[in-house]
Amino acid sequence: MNNETDNQNVGNYSSLQPIATKDDPIRKMAKISLIVFIVSLVLLAIFGIFDIWGIFGNDSGDIFGKIESSFGILTGASFLLNLGLRIFTVKKK
């Protein structure tokens, strides 16, 4: 390859090609991780509200703490997975 043309294309993001196609497993994993992220975020918010209001009594705080930490970990992991998978599915403008 010609070094001059390679140096000219450095930093030229308009020539990016999508790595993942429409039916690619990476894109499907990104959609699944986005759904898991949204569902776990909603459940985290609901159980957090239940814990704040004390709906299930004062002695259930330890259980809600474990539930909230589990949904927090699941939410964070699915967010990072979705973010990483979106990097592989660059769209050309």
Boundaries of every domain in the chain:
24-88
pLDDT of 3 reads: 52
Whether the pLDDT of residue 77 is over 70: the answer is yes
Greater confidence, 35 or 1? 35
Give 20's Cβ-side CA count (13 Å radius). Answer: 18
| 61-88 helix and 25-53 helix, angle to the nearest 10 degrees | 160
From CA 28, how far away is CA 83, in angstroms rounded? Answer: 13
Q: What is the DSSP letter of 22?
A: T
Report the alpha-carbon distance of residue 51 to residue 64 in Å, rounded: 6
Instruction: Reply yes or no on whether the pLDDT at 85 is more than 80.
Output: yes
Per the listing, tokens 């450095």 go with 10
**Of the listed ranges 3-17, 22-36, 55-69, 73-87, the one predicted with least confidence:** 3-17
So what's the pLDDT on residue 42?
Answer: 92
pLDDT interval class at 71 (50, 70, 90): confident
